[in-house]
Amino acid sequence: MATTKRAVTIIDVAKAAGVSVSTVSRVLNNKDDVAEATFEHVRDVIDELGYSSSLAAKGMRSRSTNVVGLIVPDVSDPFANKVMRGVNQAIVEHHYDLLIYTNGNILDDISAAREQQYVSLLNNGLTDGVIIVTPSIGSFSSVGPVVAIDPHIHHPEAPAVISTNFKGAVAATQHLIDLGHRRIGFIRGRADLQSAIRRQQGYESALQKAGIPLDPALMVNGDFTRESGVPAAHQLFSLDPRPTAIFAANDQTAFGVLDVCETLGIRVPEELSLVGFDNIAEAAYCNLTTVDQFMDKMGYIGTKMLFDMIDGIPRQEYIYKIETSLVVRGTCSAIS
């Protein structure tokens, strides 16, 4: 790798080509008011010098960069990962490039100020618009458009894609109730996320509608990570009588429960029925019954919305709601 001290700039190209800087700029941006010969010549020089314009400088001056930004808390997180795939697909279709920004740590509790900062960072010249995954604030001040995926707070005028967490949780719980379960444990998600709260409400609602009294002992804390599912499961299993079913606020937490079942020798679904939420890729392989909230689609739709906003196409609706859907697989059985 030749770590050249200085990058070759538009000025270098202009000099080498014997034209002015603006001509080079015109060639760069495919303006059609350049003589054929000049155009070709400049192109050649650009290739020869291996020149590439700096996104930084370019974005600072002009308004359009043809790239969209995506802010995720953590690239490894399955939720964020699926959203990324959806976004990826959308940008390919629109011939945009994608810039993903992350500080890498989903538990690093990004403050609202920090989120706002990231949005500004990208939308201040680098990108034409940004998508932010699970932001804690619903509204951003930004030069370019912003679409939130599963935001904590729903601001009526803030474009967002959300899923029907409540309905999904009701469906999951109802499924367990239909199978005859009465003692159904619930492992919470991150308390600061709207989606987690709605899932708990769905759980409670389904129980109450079925006339099953709420038992606080059956509701334990978790934080959406696999690790948090472990102590939660232990806590639930130490109850007497043990719950016959568990609804975990997301798939990863459910996997934590599965880990505990393995070590404790509890058979699923014979001795314990289990439902997750999200339908991440691993869920299919592990045959986990769960609720699909189509995260990839959320990313895809969100990006489409963003493109409309970038193009100045007005939308009638700024909140796009995606219907969740129960995916019945092998981790639940009827009570004997």
Partner DNA sequence: CTGTTAGCGCCTTCAC
Partner DNA sequence: GTGAAGGCGCTAACAG
Q: Which stretch binds its own copies (CB under 8 A): 33-41, 98-106, 183-191, 257-265?
A: 98-106
Q: Does 122 bind DNA (CB under 7 A)?
A: no
- CA-based Rg of the chain, rounded to a whole angstrom? 25
- Which lies closer to its own copies via its Cβ, residue 95 or residue 270? 95
- Asked if residue 262 lies in contact with residue 319, where contact means CB atoms within 8 angstroms, the answer is no
Q: Which stretch binds DNA (CB under 7 A): 11-19, 110-118, 186-194, 300-308?
A: 11-19
Buried b (16+ CB within 10 A) or exposed e, 314-328: eeeeebbebebbbbe
- Which lies closer to DNA via its Cβ, residue 4 or residue 336? 4
- Spatial CA neighbour of 158 closest among 321, 301, 318: 318
Select from 16, 28, 100, 327 the one that contacts its own copies (CB under 8 A). 100
Of its own copies, DNA, none, which one does residue 282 interact with (CB within 5 to 8 Å by kind)?
A: its own copies
CA distance 42 to 16: 9
Site for its own copies in 61-80 (CB under 8 A): 74-76
CA distance 313 to 298: 20
CA distance 82 to 255: 18
Site for DNA in 18-77 (CB under 7 A): 18-26, 28-29, 33-35, 37-39, 51, 53-54, 57-58, 60-63
Q: Which stretch binds DNA (CB under 7 A): 8-16, 224-232, 272-280, 310-318?
A: 8-16
Q: Which residues contact 83 (CB under 8 A, 6 or more apart)?
A: 70, 72, 133, 149, 295, 296, 298, 299, 302
- Which lies closer to DNA via its Cβ, residue 53 or residue 81? 53
- Spatial CA neighbour of 245 closest among 282, 278, 280, 218: 218
Select from 17, 42, 79, 144 the one that contacts its own copies (CB under 8 A). 144
- Asked if residue 17 lies in contact with residue 41, where contact means CB atoms within 8 angstroms, the answer is yes
Select from 13, 14, 45, 116 the one that contacts its own copies (CB under 8 A). 116
List of residues contacting DNA (CB under 7 A): 6-7, 9-11, 18-26, 28-29, 33-35, 37-39, 51, 53-54, 57-58, 60-63, 124
